[in-house]
Structure 1
Amino acid sequence: MMDSRTGVEILSSLERSDHTAFVDGNVLYVWGGCQSVSGSEIMLPSDEIWLCDLESGAWERRGIEGEPPPALSGACGSYHNGSLYVFGGCDPNGHTNQLYSASLLDGCYTWKRVKDAQGNTPSPRDKHTCWVHRDRLIYFGGYGCKTIREVNNSKSFAVDETSWATIGTVSFRFWGWNNEVHVFDPSTVTWSEPETHGLGPAPRASHASATLRDKGYICGGLEDTALDIHCLDLDTWTWTQIDLLSSLVPVGRSMHTLTPVSDHTLFLFGGLSISGNPLNDGWEFNVQTKTWSEMNHRHHDKPRLWHSACPGKDQDVVVFGGSQEYVLLMDSLTVLRSPSQKHCKDVLVFQTQPYPLLRLCEDCIGRHADVLQVQLSWLPPKLQETIDKRVFYFRTLQENRKLEELILD
């Protein structure tokens, strides 16, 4: 884990990218993803989930029983009402449109494949995103395949002209990007595709999205020099392209994250620039003033792409994993991602607001526990548990510092 004030790393679970993560209370949950093993890139097991106590930095692995999804890349994971939902992605046989849910509330974690849903299931896709709003899962965009009839009937699909050369082994299929909006209602187990209004964004994948009250925002995922940003009203289904009121705009990118940090602010971090460079910049977007402002942070030595980012305690942004580099292998027909990416296993905490006095006191006690041994016994039981975790956290930081010094020596 990385503390934003000290800039020191605590090693966490296995390194990974392309995973799903969410924060519930003071616990970070991490599922799936890929990592490099002996020069090969492998997908991590779908029947386990990792939990990180954000107060202590301690990790725990939990198994998930039931009917787990296959190993997936590019799937979209969302957390809603105590359940993890995973839709789409690529399994060993190609693009899928399967939906799975895992209940995480009762302590007996169990996967279930969602079958017999009403309505029209979206076509197979990966690298899409999801907004959670009013007990619904609202999916946007992605890259996938459609039949000729589906392409002819769609105004929301951009055909990948290189697809026949790279993955055109199945007849009567087109691959490409979409800007479709699909809604899944878990309570009725129903798919629907609302009719949207206004000028929608261009079809895309590997973009970032975030939900802010009754609005869904997306940005990036295109080969543009500047980052675009669009808003969908999730009640009226009306699209708005946000016209920025300042010339200060982040560079275009993909594989980045967008996270809500207040009622009117979104935080953007990292990604891959259109020139192929991993990015380490952080930005805040004010939806009221329609302006971007670059954020000064402690993690400029930690470029990230293909990572996850979640809202945390006290308006923190909790970033986990991802890759530090992106290497492309070229041949006469295809562009392939190198199987030797440097995947990360640290947690970066971005502080976006001043901390409340209680948290400052807890951290201060945790840092100086050695000189406050007598006073620690005076604390009430309810506070003692939190302080014990902070003491463990800062002691681990100190131990890692010593270990790093020994390695350097």
Structure 2
Amino acid sequence: MKWIFVNKYQKFRCNQSVMDSAFELVAPSSARERSGHTAVVEDNLLYVWGGYMSVGDDEVFLPNDEIWVYDLEQGQWKVFHMPGEAPPPMSGTCGCSLDGHMYIFGGCDDNGQTNQIYCFNLTDGKYTWRKRIHEVGSSPSPRDKLSCWVYKRRIIYFGGYGHKLLTDVDSRNRSFIVDEVSSVEGIFWGWNNEVHVFDPVHSSWSQPQTHGRAPAPRAAHASATFGHRGYICGGRVMETRTNDIHCLDLESWTWSEIAPVSSSPVGRSWHTLTAVSDNTFFLFGGLSIDCKPMSDGWLFDVETKKWREVEHPFKTKPRLWHSASQGTNSDVIVFGGSCDYILLVDTGHCNDALVFQTQPYPLFRICVDYIAKNVRNSEVLRNQLPFLPPKLLTAVQRRMCFYRNSKKQTY
């Protein structure tokens, strides 16, 4: 595996970009540091929204009307204004990409957890917010720190921490566990293991009847999707943090637990899980059972049920409540998060991007990377550059820009 570290103090000199737009505000060197944000990748662009940072002794939500966009080919950040029906500034929302749109649901704002859903088009360059009003069904109760899977053009949400009215809490139903220290005036906070489905085409909410033994209610867990199966791993379950793995068949709505046959990562929350092949996901970071920020990386094969820890040079860069997105060629792009236990310190928010190579690259990318890395120090390559085929020349020029903009570490 290889890793590329994109430093927050980098400067940019590239003039060309596929992101030129009337909505551009500035051309900053890097997105603001943050935790609890959401991020997705679409067409080699990483989109980052929301979250919060620390200013002095205060926790400040990031602006709700700006989207930060990182060009993964050129290594360049830009920020754009977002008009429309914007959600409130929030952290802990659940974000995903579907049909060229970014959807966010839930999260926590100045008034507590929410249960609204918003979206905007990632492809038209306007980034206009739209609040989705459901026409069928009932929305889930307010919550944050949940996860989701995308399957058959629907978004399937699981778990989270939030609140319900006393009349909605059934002590016989273990889908919601009350946090004993957080109830007031007929409102109870707690963890849930509910499954809710949002269909954007029909603007509908539904709650399927699941079968099998469901995972314990939890929040700050991680999830990934393989085909018609959704997986969750770890998270906070009441007063502990787990390392269990559960699978939900998204056709039959049947839960099953996976028992690894190898050594496993320690229990944790606020970590990430990213699919990197048809049967492998990548786990990174999080907060351990003993409240230690983690910097370890693991690969799990769902067929062999084996974990394998991955050695990497970022052991001194722990991350929790960060984001992780799949890029091209099975790269995993980790952005932001905290390097401290945020419930105690809350000062170590980051704006670094870590790009993990988890699979061998195709020959075309290997050639492009080699030329882009070496052309400045090779007179032969510089002289031959104009004779490259147009597609290859464009790719090389964009990759040259990336390496000028990035501090590289290759292992």
Q: Does TM, scored on the shorter chain, surpass 0.5? A: yes
1:101 has 2:115 as partner: no
Match of 2:197 in 1: 183
Measured against aligned partners, the alpha-carbon deviations of 1:332-369 in whole angstroms (never above 9, x if no partner) come to xxxxxx4x421111110111112222212111111112
Match of 1:23 in 2: 41
| Residues 24-33 or 179-188, more deviating | 24-33
Distance 1:6 1:350, change over 3 A: closer
* Offset, 1:297: 2.2
| 2: CA distance, partners of 1:244 / 1:206 | 21
Aligned match of 1:348 in 351, 354, 357? Answer: 354
SS in 2 for 1:28: strand
SS in 2 for 1:314: helix
Match of 1:332 in 2: none
Counterpart contact for 2:106–2:115, Cα < 8 Å: yes
* Offset, 1:37: 2.2
1:382 has 2:391 as partner: yes
1:233 has 2:280 as partner: no
Match of 1:46 in 2: 64
* Offset, 1:272: 0.4
Letter in 2 for 1:204: R
Distance 1:34 1:328, change over 3 A: closer
1:87 has 2:105 as partner: yes
* Offset, 1:38: 3.2
Q: Normalized against structure 2, the TM-score is what? A: 0.89
Measured against aligned partners, the alpha-carbon deviations of 1:108-140 in whole angstroms (never above 9, x if no partner) come to 221111124310111111111111110001000
| 2: CA distance, partners of 1:270 / 1:53 | 24
Aligned match of 1:73 in 85, 91, 95? Answer: 91
1:360 has 2:366 as partner: yes
SS in 1 for 2:400: helix
Match of 1:290 in 2: 305
| Residues 217-226 or 192-201, more deviating | 217-226
Root mean square deviation of aligned Cα: 1.9
Match of 1:335 in 2: none
SS in 2 for 1:228: strand
SS in 2 for 1:288: coil
* Offset, 1:238: 0.1
* Offset, 1:293: 1.0
* Offset, 1:299: 2.2
* Offset, 1:59: 0.9
Report % sequence identity: 55
Counterpart contact for 1:4–1:348, Cα < 8 Å: no
Distance 1:156 1:301, change over 3 A: same
Counterpart contact for 1:299–1:348, Cα < 8 Å: no
Measured against aligned partners, the alpha-carbon deviations of 1:211-258 in whole angstroms (never above 9, x if no partner) come to 111100001113557510000001100000112222x01000000000
Distance 1:290 1:106, change over 3 A: same
| 2: CA distance, partners of 1:78 / 1:117 | 21
Describe how 1:273-284 pairs up with structure 2 within 5 A: 273-284=288-299
Match of 2:82 in 1: 64
SS in 1 for 2:129: strand
Letter in 2 for 1:280: S
In the comparison of the two structures, how many residue pairs are matched?
Answer: 383
* Offset, 1:5: 4.7
Letter in 2 for 1:180: E
SS in 2 for 1:227: strand
Measured against aligned partners, the alpha-carbon deviations of 1:21-70 in whole angstroms (never above 9, x if no partner) come to 11112111111111122332211111111111111101111221111001
| 2: CA distance, partners of 1:116 / 1:5 | 42
Letter in 1 for 2:256: T
| 2: CA distance, partners of 1:135 / 1:180 | 20
SS in 1 for 2:169: helix
| 2: CA distance, partners of 1:46 / 1:289 | 43
SS in 2 for 1:393: helix
Counterpart contact for 1:231–1:242, Cα < 8 Å: yes
Distance 1:86 1:327, change over 3 A: closer
Letter in 2 for 1:366: A
| 1: CA distance, partners of 2:134 / 2:326 | 33
Measured against aligned partners, the alpha-carbon deviations of 1:136-169 in whole angstroms (never above 9, x if no partner) come to 01000001111112112743000001113xxx3x
Measured against aligned partners, the alpha-carbon deviations of 1:254-301 in whole angstroms (never above 9, x if no partner) come to 000000011110110000001111101111111101111111223222
1:112 has 2:130 as partner: yes
Aligned match of 1:196 in 202, 210, 214? Answer: 210
1:147 has 2:165 as partner: yes
* Offset, 1:105: 2.4
Structure 1, unaligned stretches of length 5 or more?
330-337, 402-409
SS in 1 for 2:243: coil
| 2: CA distance, partners of 1:351 / 1:47 | 32
Letter in 2 for 1:365: I
Counterpart contact for 1:253–1:271, Cα < 8 Å: yes
Structure 2, unaligned stretches of length 5 or more?
11-29
1:308 has 2:323 as partner: yes
Distance 1:195 1:226, change over 3 A: closer
Match of 2:402 in 1: 393
1:369 has 2:367 as partner: no
Q: Normalized against structure 1, the TM-score is what? A: 0.89
Counterpart contact for 1:7–1:298, Cα < 8 Å: no
Letter in 1 for 2:390: P
SS in 1 for 2:39: strand
1:211 has 2:225 as partner: yes
